């Protein structure tokens, strides 16, 4: 595309004009009610005009480039493969990349402050539960908007067991996972017949029910005041300082994340994983090919919930205090965003997605007023230019002797 | 010859509309039976009833898998029916578009495999062997159908004719004794239809699978079928071998038209 043809400039000029007109009342006029005068800020109009002029040119240029790329990939196999995709697929790139990331992850708590380590623990928890949701949404294609409920179930199972019976972290971990698993099946049954939007609404309701129960059933969950003084993860009874314990939790999370990646990766290319994907692609055909939809959906829900349960237990142990405010619909949305933005069905994509979506708002605190704006803009731009996510799903290929 | 499929007095009502009205049909072992009729005659509804997507309002559907007792499949879920040996293709192609060709066929093998969650995570020897076997079996099926060059392509990237054949390959992977093909030649050109003709005969003769098909391409139907059943307004208006059907005045009036006869 020629960037500076007369017609392009004309288009951008009118867009700029239109924006100037639209933003005129809010950006230019300022009424000072105290002194009863109107301040005209004409310089703002100039900025908006120039800004929207250049942004519109860049916007149209990138859109055109993207469409040209799509056309290319439709006609031939020489489709442009994204930089990320290339890194993932060539051993020359990903072997060193994995080693560097591994070493970085190992030394992280010793280079950076305890504050940074804490953020990283949170991010890893999100990586883990997003990988769990990836099973439900990315692989099985079941839009679950109440996923945070299972996170809450995990967190509260540990918190309550610890509060009432003094049960430790390691005992609670499998219990939390099993409880979430059970809740996954419980939610699975009523929604078996639902698809798409209907499923989303019902799961949304389920998530809210769990939160409202926790908020209002004071005798059971201590209501909005929550549960405090939850024990941190133990290490064979050794007393750790607060600092030591955070580092310990960090390594614990690294271990759990690796375990999650290992399991999800194996599930993905297994008989069950294929059934999930078939279910996502075409439910009717899937059942007509002899796959038990009921069983497949329930395993997806239950296994997805399990990771949320584990994540919940770690979350409770890490913060030592939980209350229902940590398990709002917003959390579900964030986790869903991680999966969609990262790349549905792609493990590496979801991991990157979690890092982007959790770390971005964290490090954008400097621009605190605008950080949610930037966050939103990043999501929109991402979905326009890479609807498949940062890294799209790659299917396993097989080689045959001819 | 024994009958592998028997449909007795089948009725299917949608509210007040009766889509299938006391319909009878049978398929013998090794037979190719075609169901023809004008659009909206209830052919696909019949397939949906047989394969369990719809539950028939009344009547009975009996199957006799080889070396097994005859049983009724009314009220069974589609996956159970497929497991008992009935496989189908769809009129509008319903492949798993974002899976590879091989994986599509592997899904067909799903109901013949056993490994579960634990197997998937720990990968014991049995699971590894099973996976190797399913990959090999699926590849063999693709080779038979002539799709082996597409093995790692996404199903959505295949040419139209190949997608239709892949549907057949996927259905074959379920190890059926009766294959139900819903308009397999729809949208194909002369050459592709000819190849399909050969393929269906090959499946019948080499795999010993009986075939029930719906088709509008009369040249294919006439050359392929041992027996033709004509359906109109949910009723069976005629049946017989191709020569008889061509002469039948009711069929000419309802469907074929004067020119064809």
Give DSSP secondary structure letters for A200-216.
HHHHHHHHHHHHHHHHH
pLDDT at A70 (0 to 100): 67
Q: Please list the rounded mean pLDDT of every run of 10 residues in chain B (261 residues).
A: 87 88 90 90 90 90 87 89 91 90 91 83 86 90 89 89 91 92 89 90 90 90 90 88 84 73 48
Helix (H/G/I), strand (E/B), else coil: A175: helix
Return the half-sphere exposure (C-beta side, CA atoms, 13 A cut-off) of residue A9. Answer: 4
Q: How many angstroms separate the CA of residue B256 from the nearest CA in chain A?
A: 31
Cross-chain residue pair A293–B79, CB shorter than 8 Å = yes
Mutation pick from B49, B51, B79 vs chain A, by most beta carbons of A within 10 Å, is B79
The answer to whether the beta carbons of residues B34 and B7 sit under 8 Å apart is no
Cβ atoms within 10 Å, residue B209: 22
Contacts of A284 in chain B (CB under 8 A): 53, 94
Measure the CA–CA gap between B204 and B30, rounded to whole angstroms: 6
Chain A within 8 Å of B164 (Cβ-Cβ)? no
The answer to whether the beta carbons of residues A125 and A314 sit under 8 Å apart is yes
- Shared domain check, A163 and A48: no
- Shared domain check, A371 and A226: yes
- Shared domain check, A277 and A134: yes
- Shared domain check, A375 and A227: yes
pLDDT at A132 (0 to 100): 94
pLDDT at A80 (0 to 100): 46
- Shared domain check, A163 and A63: no
pLDDT at A360 (0 to 100): 82
Q: How many angstroms separate the CA of residue A155 from the nearest CA in chain B?
A: 25
Closest residue in B to A282 (Cα–Cα)? B96
Measure the CA–CA gap between A141 and A281, rounded to whole angstroms: 8
- Shared domain check, A118 and A63: no
Cross-chain residue pair A291–B90, CB shorter than 8 Å = no
Specify if A396 maps to a domain: no
Number of domains in chain A: 2
Mutation pick from B51, B73, B98 vs chain A, by most beta carbons of A within 10 Å, is B98
Q: What mean pLDDT comes out for the span A193-211?
A: 88
pLDDT digits (tens, 9 = 90+) for A64-87: 877 777 666 555 443 445 566 666
Specify if A94 maps to a domain: no
Cross-chain residue pair B170–A273, CB shorter than 8 Å = no
Contacts of A303 in chain B (CB under 8 A): 117
Give the one of A271, A272, A282 whose C-beta lies nearest to B94's C-beta.
Answer: A282
- Shared domain check, A67 and A143: no
Contacts of A278 in chain B (CB under 8 A): 96, 99, 107, 110
Residue A50 has pLDDT above 80, yes or no: yes
- Shared domain check, A340 and A203: yes
Give the one of A271, A291, A395 whose C-beta lies nearest to B99's C-beta.
Answer: A395
Helix (H/G/I), strand (E/B), else coil: A239: coil
pLDDT at B181 (0 to 100): 93
Cross-chain residue pair A395–B51, CB shorter than 8 Å = no
Q: For residue B59, give the H/E element and its range.
A: strand B58-63
- Shared domain check, A56 and A168: no
pLDDT at A152 (0 to 100): 94
Size of interface A-B (CB pairs under 8 A): 112
Chain A within 8 Å of B170 (Cβ-Cβ)? yes
* A312: CB partners within 8 A, 6+ apart: A150, A151, A152, A153, A154, A155, A156, A157, A158, A176, A180
Cross-chain residue pair A285–B78, CB shorter than 8 Å = no
Measure the CA–CA gap between A388 and A385, rounded to whole angstroms: 9
pLDDT at A3 (0 to 100): 58
- Shared domain check, A276 and A221: yes
Summary count for chain A: helices (H), strands (E): 16, 2
Residue in A366, A369, A334, A370 with CA at minimum distance from that of residue A353: A334
Query: What ipTM was estimated for this complex?
Result: 0.89
Closest residue in B to A265 (Cα–Cα)? B121
Cross-chain residue pair B113–A271, CB shorter than 8 Å = yes
Contacts of A395 in chain B (CB under 8 A): 98-100, 103, 152, 154
Closest residue in A to B97 (Cα–Cα)? A281
Closest residue in A to B90 (Cα–Cα)? A285
Specify if A97 maps to a domain: no
Inter-axis angle of helices A347-363 and A371-385, to 10 degrees? 150
Cβ atoms within 10 Å, residue A140: 26
Cross-chain residue pair A277–B152, CB shorter than 8 Å = no
Q: Domains in chain B, ordered, with CATH?
A: 1-85+176-261 (3.40.50.300), 97-174 (no CATH)
Length of chain B, please?
261
pLDDT at A383 (0 to 100): 81
Q: Which residues lie across from B231 on neighbouring strands?
A: B236
Specify if A91 maps to a domain: no
The answer to whether the beta carbons of residues B171 and B93 sit under 8 Å apart is no
- Compute the mean pLDDT over every residue in chain A, rounded to the nearest whole number: 85
Q: For residue B178, give the H/E element and its range.
A: strand B178-182
Residue in B167, B187, B207, B210 with CA at minimum distance from that of residue B31: B210
Q: What mean pLDDT comes out for the span A121-136?
A: 93
Measure the CA–CA gap between B257 and A128, rounded to whole angstroms: 65
Residue A2 has pLDDT above 70, yes or no: no
pLDDT digits (tens, 9 = 90+) for A240-265: 778 888 888 999 999 999 999 999 99
Inter-axis angle of helices A293-319 and A148-165, to 10 degrees? 50
Give the one of A288, A291, A397 whose C-beta lies nearest to B100's C-beta.
Answer: A397
Measure the CA–CA gap between A156 and A148, rounded to whole angstroms: 12
pLDDT digits (tens, 9 = 90+) for A173-196: 999 999 999 999 988 888 878 877
Contacts of B111 in chain A (CB under 8 A): 289-291
Specify if A82 maps to a domain: no
Cross-chain residue pair A397–B90, CB shorter than 8 Å = no
Measure the CA–CA gap between A39 and A92, rounded to whole angstroms: 61
Q: How many angstroms separate the CA of residue A79 from the nearest CA in chain B?
A: 13
Residue A12 has pLDDT above 90, yes or no: no
- Shared domain check, A350 and A224: yes
Domain that includes residue A349, residue range: 112-385
Cross-chain residue pair B120–A291, CB shorter than 8 Å = no
Residue with tokens 């020359």: A92
- Shared domain check, A301 and A157: yes
CATH code of the domain containing A148: 1.10.3470
pLDDT at A195 (0 to 100): 79
Most confident of A48-57, A271-280, A353-362: A271-280
Q: For residue A143, give the H/E element and its range.
A: none
Q: How many angstroms separate the CA of residue B49 from the nearest CA in chain A?
A: 12
Q: Which residues lie across from A147 on neighbouring strands?
A: none
End-to-end CA distance of chain B: 31
Residue in B3, B42, B40 with CA at minimum distance from that of residue B25: B3
Q: What is the CA radius of gyration of chain B?
A: 19
Confidence of residue A393 (pLDDT cuts 50, 70, 90): confident
């Amino acid at each position: 595309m020629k960037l500076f043809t007369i017609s392009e400039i004309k288009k951008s000029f009118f867009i700029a004009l239109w924006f100037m007109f639209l933003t005129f009342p809010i950006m230019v006029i300022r009424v000072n009610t105290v002194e009863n005068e109107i301040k005209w800020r004409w310089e703002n109009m100039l900025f908006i005009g120039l800004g929207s002029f250049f942004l519109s040119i860049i916007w149209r240029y990138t859109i055109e480039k993207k469409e040209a790329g799509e056309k290319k990939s439709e006609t031939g196999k020489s489709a442009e493969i994204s930089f990320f995709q290339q890194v993932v697929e060539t051993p020359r790139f990903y072997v060193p990349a994995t080693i560097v990331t591994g070493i970085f992850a190992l030394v992280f708590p010793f280079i950076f402050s305890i504050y940074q380590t804490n953020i990283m623990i949170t991010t890893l928890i999100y990586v883990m539960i997003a990988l769990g949701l990836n099973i439900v949404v990315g692989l099985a294609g079941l839009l679950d908007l109440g996923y945070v409920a299972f996170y809450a179930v995990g967190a509260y199972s540990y918190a309550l067991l610890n509060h009432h019976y003094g049960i430790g972290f390691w005992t609670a971990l499998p219990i939390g996972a099993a409880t979430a698993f059970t809740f996954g099946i419980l939610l699975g049954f009523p929604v078996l017949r639902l698809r798409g939007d209907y499923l989303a609404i019902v799961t949304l309701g389920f998530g809210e029910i769990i939160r409202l129960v926790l908020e209002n059933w004071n005798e059971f969950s201590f209501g909005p005041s929550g549960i405090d003084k939850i024990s941190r993860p133990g290490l064979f009874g050794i007393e750790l300082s607060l600092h030591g314990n955070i580092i310990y939790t960090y390594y614990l999370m690294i271990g759990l994340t690796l375990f999650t990646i290992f399991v999800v990766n194996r599930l993905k290319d297994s008989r069950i994983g294929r059934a999930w994907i078939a279910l996502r692609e075409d439910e009717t055909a899937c059942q007509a090919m002899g796959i038990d939809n009921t069983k497949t959906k329930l395993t997806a829900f239950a296994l997805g919930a399990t990771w949320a349960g584990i994540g919940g237990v770690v979350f409770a142990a890490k913060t030592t205090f939980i209350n229902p405010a940590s398990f709002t619909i917003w959390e579900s949305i964030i986790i869903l965003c991680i999966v969609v933005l990262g790349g549905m069905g792609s493990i590496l994509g979801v991991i990157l997605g979690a890092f982007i979506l959790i770390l971005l708002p964290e490090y954008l605190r400097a621009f605190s007023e605008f950080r949610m704006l930037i966050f939103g803009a990043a999501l929109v731009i991402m979905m326009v230019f890479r609807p498949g996510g940062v890294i799209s799903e790659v299917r396993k290929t097989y080689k045959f002797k001819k | 010859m024994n009958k592998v499929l028997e449909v007795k007095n089948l009725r299917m009502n949608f509210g007040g509309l009766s889509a299938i009205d006391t319909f009878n049909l049978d398929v013998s072992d090794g037979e190719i039976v075609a169901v023809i009729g004008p659009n909206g005659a209830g052919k696909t509804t019949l397939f949906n009833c047989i394969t369990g997507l719809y539950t028939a309002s009344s009547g009975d559907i009996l199957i006799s898998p080889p070396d097994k007792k005859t049983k009724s499949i009314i009220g069974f879920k589609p996956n159970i029916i497929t497991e008992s040996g009935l496989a189908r293709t769809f009129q509008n192609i319903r492949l798993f578009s974002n899976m590879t060709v091989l994986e599509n066929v592997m899904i067909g093998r799903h109901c013949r495999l056993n490994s579960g969650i634990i197997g998937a995570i720990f990968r014991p020897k049995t699971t590894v062997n099973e996976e190797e076997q399913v990959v090999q079996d699926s590849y063999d099926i693709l080779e038979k159908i002539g799709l082996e060059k597409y093995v790692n392509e996404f199903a959505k990237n295949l040419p139209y004719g190949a997608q239709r054949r892949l549907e057949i390959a996927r259905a074959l992977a379920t190890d059926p004794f009766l294959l139900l093909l819903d308009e397999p030649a729809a949208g194909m050109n002369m050459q592709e239809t000819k190849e399909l003709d050969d393929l269906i005969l090959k499946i019948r003769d080499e795999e010993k699978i009986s075939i029930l098909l719906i088709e509008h391409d009369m040249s294919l139907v006439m050359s392929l079928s041992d027996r033709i059943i004509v359906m109109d307004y949910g009723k069976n208006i005629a049946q017989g071998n191709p020569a008889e059907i061509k002469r039948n005045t009711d069929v000419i009036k309802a469907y074929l038209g004067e020119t064809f006869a």
